[in-house]
Amino acid sequence: MSLELFNKWQQQNLPEYLADELSAIVSDQKAIEDRFYQYVAFGTGGMRGLLGAGTNRMNIYTIRRVAEGLARYVASNGKMAKERGVAIAYDTRHFSYEFAVETARVLASHGIKSYIYKESRPTPQLSFTVRELNAFAGVVITASHNPKQYNGFKVYGEDGAQLVPAAANAIIEHMNQIDDIFAIDVQDVKAIDQNGLLHWILEDFDEKFMRNLLTLKENDAIDYNMKLVYTPLHGTGLVPVVEGLKQFGFKEVHLVEEQSVQDGAFPTLSYPNPEEVAAFAMAIELGKQVGADLLLATDPDADRLGVAVRNGNQYELLTGNQLGALLLHYILSMKQQNGTLPNNGAILKTIVTSKLGTAIATHFGVETINTLTGFKYIAEKIAQFETENSHSYLFGYEESYGYLIETFVRDKDAVQVALKVAEMASYYATEGQTLLDALEDLYKQFGYYKEALISKTFEGKDGQDQMKAILNSFRENTPHSVAGIEVVRVEDYLTGIATLQNGSTEQIILPKENVLKFILQDGSWIAIRPSGTEPKCKFYFGVVKDSKDESNQAIESLIAAIVK
């Protein structure tokens, strides 16, 4: 089948760069298999893959296929859905603009309006725009924090949240009915611009987004002269983060100029991921030059934020769990201090996020609700709170550097959080503390929580099979103990059943997903799941002990016992 598809592609009038790629692999059966054994998978809210020629690559033809699936889904919801249209944004990656326009061309062939940003803008701003326009759906062309060889297509529902499984499955069903991607109808850009199916947007929505961002400011007792360094890592955070910090009142914001050039080649770094210390190299260098107390970095589509704090002459990068705990404690403290902490408050976090957040929330009388991994599940709960009037949403986060404070956005939002972290750090500065000091206070009060994530990469078709085998092996040979500590509970999110040590079972009231979680007798835990957006199997670990040294030793023992 792969060879048949390869031959079909070669017979098309492809753009030269795609035709050259195929010509280069004509004698390489393994390369042909990898490019054509499947279509890029539509996973967590959309699809993401390597750029290039073939069905298992991101290119104008696979974009047309997913856009056609989306178009048929929108059209199936009636005339009003087509009128409300689709909002489209894109990051700074190679082909992002071209893929955004290609999407609008396909939508127009079904009579569906598109609202496209004239310039690259963050994913959270797209979420906001869907809600502001009352659009029926949204699309952002991005591969988030992946390397430069990748791009992607994320789809949002009318609430501005990533698609829930039912809607995603409907789009997949439409995509599977497409017999020939080369026969998909695309409209001429000039024609759809003239006939009212294409609307270019920018300044009005920048201003509206900024007005909402400024509502985050709730503390004037801060040091506006604190020195900050910010890097957008060549991505979309540049405009809203810099302007937001300025309008918040910060006077000493230093920009990493080399990384403020919006460039999909990411020329100053190999991996534009603010979770990685290497991504902060230039920010650290500038921080030392200007004496900055705080370094901020957003990934290319500005939905994830990394933070580094000065510690003597060095800078220490906070983990996603640590920053989440600090933000949670600060937000709840401010609300308690201002008398605005509601009686029915709730926070949302994922099942692989630190339990420190739960301990903090409980201290403030706030309920913690766990969701599956993926911010779409947090957004889904927010919508449920609003519909049922059951809880007041206070904060949502996941360990992978994703946070949401205010709900005018329904996805993780690094722009919101960059502004709030600056406010928080500046507040602690007036108290004579750094964020590291504040974090140590949390550990002393609630226990020394420590987490770790080990990712193993499995590329291609063989890699998918290997990941399935890993999960199946753990299911078939469930450990009774790990590192000498008894397993007291096994949670299998694929079956929706939790099995206790005595053999009794409980239902897990969450959607089914291929995740295993082991709870140990001392409160430690391990979770295993394949990534929904990358060819990786992820192993999560969490412990809590009475001291930093004990927690470090405990987590190392767990990792050594599980990851071979």
Q: How far is CA 122 from the centre of its chain?
A: 12
Q: What is the rounded average pLDDT of the residues 289-316?
A: 97
pLDDT tens-digit map of 246-284: 999 999 999 999 999 999 999 999 899 999 999 999 999
Closest CA to 318 of 338, 337, 287, 297: 297
C-alpha 213/C-alpha 17 separation (Å) is 41
Closest CA to 516 of 480, 455, 475: 475
Q: What are phi and psi of 460, to 5 degrees?
A: 70, -170
Residue 564: predicted pLDDT: 77
C-alpha 162/C-alpha 492 separation (Å) is 24
Range of the domain at 51: 38-201
For the cut 70, the answer to whether the pLDDT of residue 413 exceeds it is: yes
Report yes or no on 270 lying in a domain.
Answer: yes
Q: State whether 341 and 402 are in the same domain.
A: yes
pLDDT tens-digit map of 207-224: 999 999 999 998 888 889
C-alpha 399/C-alpha 392 separation (Å) is 22
Residue 509: predicted pLDDT: 92
For the cut 90, the answer to whether the pLDDT of residue 96 exceeds it is: yes
C-alpha 145/C-alpha 303 separation (Å) is 9
Residue 461: predicted pLDDT: 66
Residue 532: predicted pLDDT: 66
Q: State whether 227 and 370 are in the same domain.
A: yes
Q: Of the residues 446, 471, 505, which one is the last residue of a structural domain?
A: 446
For the cut 90, the answer to whether the pLDDT of residue 372 exceeds it is: yes
For the cut 80, the answer to whether the pLDDT of residue 44 exceeds it is: no
Identify the three-state secondary structure at position 50: strand
Tell me whether residue 144 is one of the annotated catalytic residues: yes
* Whole-number average pLDDT of the chain: 95
164: which DSSP letter? P
Residue 462: predicted pLDDT: 74
Report yes or no on 315 lying in a domain.
Answer: yes
Closest CA to 413 of 216, 163, 234, 168: 216
Tokens 């900050």 found at: 228
Report yes or no on 520 lying in a domain.
Answer: yes
* Structural tokens at position 150: 């990748």
Q: State whether 298 and 441 are in the same domain.
A: yes
CATH number reported for the structural domain that contains residue 146 in this entry: 3.40.120.10
For the cut 80, the answer to whether the pLDDT of residue 45 exceeds it is: no
Catalytic residue among 120, 127, 144, 551: 144
pTM for this prediction: 0.95
pLDDT tens-digit map of 156-170: 999 999 988 889 999
Positive/negative CA dihedral, 163, 167, 172, 174: negative
Burial zone of 55 (CB within 10 Å; 0-12 exposed, 13-18 middle, 19+ buried): buried
Residue 127: predicted pLDDT: 98
Report yes or no on 387 lying in a domain.
Answer: yes
pLDDT tens-digit map of 444-483: 999 999 999 999 888 766 777 888 888 889 999 999 999 9
Residue 178: CA count within 13 A, CB half-sphere: 26
Residue 130: predicted pLDDT: 98
Q: State whether 479 and 341 are in the same domain.
A: no
C-alpha 266/C-alpha 378 separation (Å) is 30
Q: State whether 333 and 390 are in the same domain.
A: yes
Identify the three-state secondary structure at position 24: helix
CATH number reported for the structural domain that contains residue 510 in this entry: 3.30.310
CB 485 within 8 A of CB 520: yes
Q: Of the residues 201, 227, 244, which one is the last residue of a structural domain?
A: 201
Q: State whether 153 and 222 are in the same domain.
A: no
